[in-house]
Structures are given as C-alpha cells and as structure tokens.
Amino acid sequence: MKTVEEIKAAIEAAVPGAWVEIVPNPSVSGQHSLRLAPEHAFEVATFLRDDAELSLDFLSNATGVDWLDKEIAEKVKVAKTVTKTLDGVDQQVEETVEETRKRVVPGYLEAVYHLFSVAKGHGPVVIRIRTLNRTDQVSLPSLTPVWRSAEFQEREIFDLFGIVFTGHPDLRRLLMWDEFKDHPMRRDYVEPDDFEYEPTAHDDVLKRAEAHRAKLAAATAVQEGAGA
C-alpha cells in the first residue's frame, strides 16, 4: 500500500486546492493519519473511494474525539529596562528577564475515519477532519453519501460529541433520547446529579440539588449564548 506521503501527493494531484496535512502517530502502531480541510473533505473522500489504486471502498470506523482547550506555559526571554542603584546612583540598565507566559490553544472536535479496501485488502488509511472550535462552529461535511456505513456512526458522533454533519440525510440522535440536551462524550460534560432519586430529600441532598440546578442553569446559559 502507498504510504501517507504518497497518498497526500495523490490527493493533491487529483483534487486541486485540497489541503492535506500528515498527522504523525508517535506510537509503535505506525498508523499515521491525514488531516483534511472540511471544504474539500467530500471531494477527497470521493477520490479515495474511486481511485483505482487506492480504492478505499470500505469505511470501517468513524468516530469523534474531543480536544479541550490547552493552556501552554512558555518561557519567553524579554528585554527590559530596569532601574538599578549602582554606586549610589540610579541607572537605567538593559536586562534580559525570563518570563512565563501562558497562552490558550483553543480546543476542537475531530471526526476520525478509518478506511480499508475490500477490493485490494489493504488499510487502514486514517483521515481526520476538525472543527474550528468546540462551541459554535462545530459543523463538518458528512461523508455518508460517499460511504453509507457512516450513516449511523455520524449520527452517533452528533449525539455524543455534538458535531453537526451537513449533508447527512437523517441527522438525529442515535443513542440518547431526542429531548436530551447535552453531548455526553465531551470531556467537560457534567453528569446529572442523582438527587431526584433520593427517596427522602433532606438538608444535604437539597443543597446538592440546588447547586446542581445552578450548575445546569449556567451551562444552559453558555450553550444558548453559543447557539445565538
């Protein structure tokens, strides 16, 4: 089978303007993946399926991954002018000081697809598509029209991670019930408290219930703010 570099070159030759990035996999499994831009993902997927040499006709696994916001602390050398008292006289001195700066890398949601070829017997080729962020820009193109096996799996990703697949013919919740609000597979999902099942609500339980309601209200406010 072609290596990821060769597949990248083949995609770039076949789909003009397609952006492909190789995501290396440091583990011994050696399953490196290709990250696609959402704009071209559909065309690239069609190419991967129909190309005579690759013929990745079998989408085995489609799943979501939630990557939280990451706070990165960096040490930066900064030149500063410091006032120092030397020999009883105040002087302006240039000094290099190390400072720790924190920056936040925004998180994103990612859909990962594992492709195999039934015709040629090779695989897996892993493709990944990521959303812009985790809150309001969470739509990705659906690959269900290319591989039917994504139909339920993309519904599951939508259900559990909240990625909205545009072009999916029947995007509904798969496992949770329709009235359910949140997306339980997100890393920051807050589990509902079990206070409602307490047979005799008393002080401590009532407090917990109140705290839980406040937490839910805050979460809903954030969601509505993001949705609007």
Which residues bind to another protein, rule: CB under 8 A?
25-29, 31, 57-61, 63, 65, 112, 114, 118, 121, 124, 126, 144-145, 147-153, 160, 169-170, 173-177, 184-185, 189
- Rounded CA-CA distance 13/16 in Å is 7
Return the number of the residue (118 or 226) whose C-beta is nearest another protein: 118
Cβ neighbours for 51, distance < 8 A, ≥ 6 positions apart: 10, 14
Q: How far is the CB of 89 from another protein (least distance, A)?
A: 54
> Between residues 40 and 155, which has the closer beta carbon with respect to another protein?
155
Give the nearest distance from C-beta 111 to another protein in angstroms.
12
Q: How far is CA 220 from CA 138, 148, 216, 224, in A?
A: 17, 34, 6, 6
Please report how close the Cβ of residue 150 comes to another protein at its closest, in angstroms: 8
Minimum distance of another protein from residue 137's CB (angstroms): 21
Q: Using the minimum distance from each CB to another protein, give the nearer residue, 38 or 145.
A: 145
The angle, 0 to 180 degrees and rounded to 10, between the axes of the packed helices 4-14 and 38-50 is 100
Query: Closest approach of Cβ 77 to another protein, in Å?
Result: 29
Q: Please, which residue, 19 or 116, has the CB nearer to another protein?
A: 116
Rounded Cα distance, 151 and 129, in Å: 17
Residue whose entry in the numeric block shows the structure tokens 């900064």: 78
Q: Quick one: 87 or 170, whose CB is closer to another protein?
A: 170
Q: Where are the alpha helices (DSSP H) in the chain?
A: 4-14, 38-50, 150-161, 203-227
Closest approach of Cβ 67 to another protein, in Å?
A: 9
The bridge status of strand 58-67 relative to strand 33-36 is unpaired
Q: Which is nearer to another protein, 137 or 149 (CB)?
A: 149
Ordered DSSP codes for 49-99: HH-TTT---EEEEEEEEEE--EEEEEEEEEEEEEEEEETTEEEEEEEEEEE
Which of helix, strand or coil describes residue 106? coil
